[in-house]
Amino acid sequence: MSVAEEPLRGGEGRPLRSPAAPRRRPFLVMASVFVIAFAVFVAVFAHWLMPYRIDELDLLNRYAPPVFMGGTWAHPLGTDGLGHDMLTLLLRATQVSLSIAFLGTLIGAVAGTAVGFAAARFGGWVDATVGVLVDFQAALPFLVLALALLAVLPDANFTTFVILMCIYGWERYARLSRGLAIAAQEQGYVVAQRAIGAGWGRIYLRHILPNVAATLMVTMTWNFPATILTETSLNFLGVGIEPPDTSLGTLIGEGRSHLYRAPWIAILPGLVVFLVTFAMSILGDWLRDRLDATSR
């Protein structure tokens, strides 16, 4: 074998792995991807997976236990105090909570990034106004703001909660995108684009945004669990989705008064919240390590 064909070797004669060689994904990351994919599948196909209607009652089987606690397969996850099938409620609650968190995170990220880019581009009073709004929301506990808004709004429906979740997360993206855009404006590729006469719209959309997208994506994976927990907390406090619809926080709030008689009413939705938020946190940490060059 020639010198050019001989593989590079490290200490003690071990061959060095090429930077492009694939690395095995950690078990926790793969498990997290599976949990998230399964949760998305449930959220998309919940209506087809429900064994009963969400408002259907079985008064003769109130507080029926799940099958793993001695129940029957007629209600695999048991029933609540009115005879609602817990599997049906859990499927619908997962669909509602994940939809609110996903839409709130996505719309908040788009709106916050746009505001941050505007502050970096125009500066002056625009930058000062955005800074005041960001500082105001950062200083005010969001639960207090959300409770005040829910008190004056006519009803707490799905659209209302999506708007609240957008308000919850936008300032993080605004602050981050503003700083990244200001730093990018001093980079050579932006200076070169300006020198050839490219407009700021093209520069931001075609050049700056793709270069900061990885950081924004990691921030979204961190913000998504916080959004779910915030939505769950509001519904737990009793100011959330109104019956006959439900959410994970609503189920936990209803089950807290039945912990001794029917603990599964609160434990099952709490377990869903824990698994989804934990999986997203693990995936966010892994994406940060993979996409953020400074962490490597």
Q: What is the pTM of this model?
A: 0.81
Query: What pLDDT sits at residue 24?
Result: 57
Report the alpha-carbon distance of residue 236 to residue 230 in Å, rounded: 10
Among candidate residues 205, 201, 208, 247, the one with its CA nearest the CA of residue 228: 247
Let me know: does 279 contact 32? Beta carbons within 8 Å: yes
Predicted pLDDT of residue 18 = 46
The pLDDT, as a whole number, for residue 233 is 83
Measured CA to CA, the distance from residue 104 to residue 164 in angstroms comes to: 8
- Rounded CA separation 247/61 (Å): 22
Q: What is the pLDDT of residue 292?
A: 60
**Distance between CA atoms of residues 118 and 181, nearest Å:** 9
* Sign of the alpha-carbon torsion through 215, 221, 224, 229: negative
CATH homologous superfamily of domain 25-295? MetI-like (1.10.3720.10)
- Report d(CA 65, CA 71) in Å as an integer: 5
List the chain pLDDT tens, one digit each, 296 residues: 444 444 445 444 554 444 444 455 688 889 999 999 999 999 899 989 999 888 888 888 888 889 988 888 888 998 888 888 999 999 999 999 899 889 988 998 999 999 998 888 888 898 899 989 888 888 888 888 888 887 777 677 788 888 888 888 888 889 888 888 888 877 777 777 777 777 777 777 777 888 888 888 888 888 888 888 888 888 777 777 777 788 888 888 888 888 888 899 989 999 999 999 999 988 888 887 776 654 45
Q: What local confidence, expressed as pLDDT, does residue 149 receive?
A: 80
Q: State residue 148's pLDDT score.
A: 81
For the chain, domain boundaries: 25-295
